[in-house]
Amino acid sequence: MYKLKEIADKVYYVGVNDRQKALFENMWPLPYGVSYNSYLIVDEKTVLVDTVDVCYSDIFLKKIEDALAGRTLDYLIVNHMEPDHSGSIRLLRQLYPDVQIIGNKRTFDMLEGFHGIHTGLLEVKEGDTLSIGHHQLSFYLAPMVHWPEVMVTYDATDKILFSADAFGTFGSLDGAVMDVDMNLDHYWDEMRRYYANIVGKYGNPVQKALQKLSGLEIKTLCSTHGPVWTKYIPDVIKIYDELSRYEGQDGVVIVYGSMYGNTEQMAETIAASLAEHGVKNIVMHNVSKSHASYILKDIFKYKAVIIGCPTYCNQLYPEIDSLLQKIEIREVKNRLFGYFGSFSWAGAAVKRLAAFGEKMNWEVVGTPVEQKQGLKQDKYEACWELGKAMAERI
Ligand code: FEO
């Protein structure tokens, strides 16, 4: 029934789209949905690469059945065990009891833990190969991109890299599967957001994986999320390379918390000064309105960050506190940092923002501004100077 997209000779896309889930990992918004990609190679042996979220197993298994056209499934390659890709393994095994599951030692530990499966396994190590007929597959480990068992599979025949989550993006596939067949506009920022939210902490492992894979000729890049990349592979690799090196573009993210608008006025003044002094890329986030997912994306995207908030219960404004924790977990490096804050009777926020900058080892730019109650002329000027200093430093 299904007219499945053949992305290369006898390699079919059998993934699914999820436009129902509001939050990926129950945390990260999905305004454009998300796809769970899976690929079936129909050769002398039949090989499935990864599965999909269990919520979509029914349609997924029907697609596989159609593509197999009466044949059985010989192998399942498990590049990644996170349940958005491994969720359908148990059902798949019930339908194809003889399928051999290919993974590494760590894969099998998780396979037992999540699904109680411990038989019919074929363990592979770094660089191992498998001939399935016309296609010649090889396996490379990519630990901590972003789980420890992650590996990638390379088809040397058609130069396809099945890359697990690496090079993935939020955004469902709305009809087309290949990058050249669709409007890609919204995927680029969604790719940054996916990286910042999901993979962000693991810059070094991503760099190691990029170096390891740099020797492979890749004509088709098949991630577990988002379009199948061909023409735009260099653009995708460039984004992942920049993000994993924590290399920000020229621009400033201003994140602020404000209960009654006094701290917000400080943020407005800094932004106006940045613009007056020539900065074009300025992104402002009211931390109580913007979801942290988007703030993190912009902090990964741009090289300068200015954060401000009021003192609350002699602490940081809680929403800012929560954001700082998310930034710290991701070990975001090499940012230019400005900060400001306010208080009504006793100041604590600015001190704590200073401690945060120190812990992150970020370069402090300009003089921090601390304001008591409403914005007055001298603090207005100080905010203006902070904006000017950052504009000059970028
Ligand atoms: Fe898309 Fe790490 O799972």
Which among 77, 52, 62, 225 is positioned nearest to 151, based on CA atoms? 77
Q: Is 279 helix (H, G, I), strand (E, B) or coil?
A: coil
User: Long-range contacts: 19-26, Cβ < 8 Å, 24+?
Assistant: 19/172, 20/55, 24/84, 24/170, 24/197, 24/198, 25/198
Beta bridge pairs of residue 151: 141
The minimum-distance atom of ligand 1 relative to the CA of 36 is 1
Which atom from ligand 1 is nearest to the alpha carbon of 224?
1
In this predicted structure, what is the pLDDT of residue 97? Answer: 98
| Ligand 1 midpoint to CA 87 (Å) | 11
* Residue-level pLDDT, tens digit, the chain, 394 residues: 899 999 999 999 999 999 999 999 999 999 999 999 999 999 999 999 999 999 999 999 999 999 999 999 999 999 999 999 999 999 999 999 999 999 999 999 999 999 999 999 999 999 999 999 999 999 999 999 999 999 999 999 999 999 999 999 999 999 999 999 999 999 999 999 999 999 999 999 999 999 999 999 999 999 999 999 999 999 999 999 999 999 999 999 999 999 999 999 999 999 999 999 999 999 999 999 999 999 999 999 999 999 999 999 999 999 999 999 999 999 999 999 999 999 999 999 999 999 999 999 999 999 999 999 999 999 999 999 999 999 999 9
- Which residues approach ligand 1 with their CB closer than 6 A? 80, 82, 84-85, 146, 165, 224-225
CA of 84 to the centre of ligand 1 (A): 6
Model confidence pTM above 0.75: yes
Cβ neighbour number for residue 211 with a 10 Å cutoff = 9
Going by CA atoms, what residue is nearest to atom 2 of ligand 1? 82
pLDDT at 1: 85
**Ligand 1 centre and the CA of 29: distance in Å?**
15
| Half-sphere exposure (Cβ direction) of 202: Cα atoms closer than 13 Å | 20
* Closest by CA position to 254, among listed 298, 191, 192: 298
Q: CA torsion sign, 306 to 309 to 313 to 319?
A: negative
* Percent of the chain topping pLDDT 90: 99
Q: What is the DSSP string of 199-233?
A: IGGGHHHHHHHHHHHTTS--SEEE-SSSPBBSTTH
Beta strands in 125-260 (DSSP E): 129-131, 136-141, 151-155, 160-162, 220-222, 249-256
218 and 161 in contact (C-beta within 8 Å)? yes
Tell me the CATH architecture of domain 5-244: 4-Layer Sandwich (3.60)
Q: If we measure between CA atoms, which residue out of 311, 320, 202, 302 comes closest to residue 257? A: 320
Cβ atoms of 339 and 357 within 8 Å: the answer is yes
Residue with the smallest CA separation from ligand 1 atom 3 is 82
Domain 252-389, what fold? Rossmann fold (3.40.50)
328 alpha carbon to ligand 1 midpoint, in Å? 21
Give me 57's structure tokens.
């197993």
Ligand 1 centroid to Cα of residue 82, in Å, is 5
Amino acid at 66: D
Count CB neighbours of 340 within 10 A.
28
- Residues 342-372 pLDDT 10s: 999 999 999 999 999 999 999 999 999 999 9
Tokens 């600015």 found at: 350
For tokens 């170096």, what's the residue?
211
Quote the pLDDT of residue 226.
98
Q: Give which of 30, 372, 13, 377 is closest to 224, Cα–Cα.
A: 13
Residues 66 and 387: their CA atoms lie apart, in Å, by: 60
Sign of CA pseudo-dihedral 156, 158, 160, 162: negative
Return the domain boundaries, the chain: 5-244, 252-389
